[in-house]
Amino acid sequence: MLGNLDNGVIFKKAFTNLVVFKAFVRDILGIDVDVEVIETEKKFSPKIGYIDFELDIYAESKDKKIAIEIQKVEYDQHFDRFLHYFLMLIAEQQKSAKQYEISQTVYVIVVLTAPYTISEKNGKPILDEFLLLDFNMQNIDGEIRDLYGHQFVCLNPNHPNQNTPQKIRDWLDLIYQSIHNPERPALNTENEGIRKAIELIDYENFTNEERTASKNKEANRTIVATYKNIRNIEIAKEGIKKGYPNEIIADLTSLSIEFIENLKEEIRNTKDELL
């Protein structure tokens, strides 16, 4: 049985392994990296900008020319948080007012484990399995000028696309199957990185310490989610009392329109009972 890659402890156990990390980066970004140390909870000193942010998994190539960060999340936060991390890794390279050179190419890979809740500016929902932001420039004829090469990739296995390349599909399947079909996962074990990841997150191979840590992580997340949901319901009730439109309440709380309508009905019924 596979451990759930939606659990931060299990995710880090798999993707901080050198074989898994290098294979994942190769398949997703198409580059081979030579790294010695893979860090977790990476922070920078001094802080970059006003935020003391922390990176889930971070590594630099031996030649210091490539910096790669992998982030696992179960929500999208309108991409603002991920974009901030990406830009701060680029900005961090400026060490003085006179030194603007960006010597390292920055790659950020975000793995999302829940369906997107965001939309484009025109209201069209985001339903993409693979998204790429490429920082290279192009001329009026559309020809790309390879100046920087920074890349920001988002992966979300909840929105499958038949055109996704197999080497990327392997990893998306691993993530999705570990969450939704951990007992009988259908995975490509011919991929060395996938095979090693399966070995690492096989629940039978967990130490007692790893099992305890993963259970504690899941318990903490459940507590946080419960508190957040209760708080959002209270905010929705206040919005209903003030006459806010359903769309505004939904945007403020991430609750569905259907749930808000049911909440309105509940409030109306309570008022009727008091009369």
The per-residue pLDDT for 210 is: 81
168-181: pLDDT as tens digits: 999 999 999 999 99
| Among 158, 159, 137, 132, residue whose Cα is nearest residue 147 | 137
- Average pLDDT (254-263) is 81
For residue 95, what are its two tokens? 């060490």
For residue 235, what are its two tokens? 């905010």
Task: Using a pLDDT cut of 90, give the percent of the chain over it.
Answer: 44
Task: Using a pLDDT cut of 70, give the percent of the chain over it.
Answer: 88
- Average pLDDT (154-177) is 96
Mean per-residue pLDDT over the chain, rounded: 86
Q: Which comes out higher in pLDDT, residue 141 or 268?
A: 141
Residue that has been written with the tokens 């359903």 in this structure: 246
Task: Give the C-alpha distances (Å, rounded to integers) separating 114 from 5, 59, 134, 146.
Answer: 12, 25, 24, 34
The per-residue pLDDT for 183 is: 93
Residues in the chain: 275
Residue that has been written with the tokens 């390349």 in this structure: 165
Can you spell out the DSSP letters for 88-149? HHHHTT--BTTB----SEEEEEEEE-S----B-TTSPBP--SEEEEE--EE-TT--EE-S--
Least confidently predicted of 69-78, 253-262, 266-275:
266-275
- Average pLDDT (127-133) is 95
Confidence of residue 118 (pLDDT cuts 50, 70, 90): confident
Confidence of residue 225 (pLDDT cuts 50, 70, 90): low
Q: Which comes out higher in pLDDT, residue 178 or 230?
A: 178
Distance CA(28)–CA(23), nearest Å, equals 8
The 3-state DSSP class for residue 155 equals strand
Q: Does pLDDT of 25 surpass 90?
A: yes
Q: Does pLDDT of 220 surpass 60?
A: no
Task: Give the C-alpha distances (Å, rounded to integers) separating 195 from 19, 20, 57.
Answer: 10, 9, 20
The per-residue pLDDT for 174 is: 97
| pTM above threshold 0.95 | no
The 3-state DSSP class for residue 258 equals helix
The per-residue pLDDT for 273 is: 47
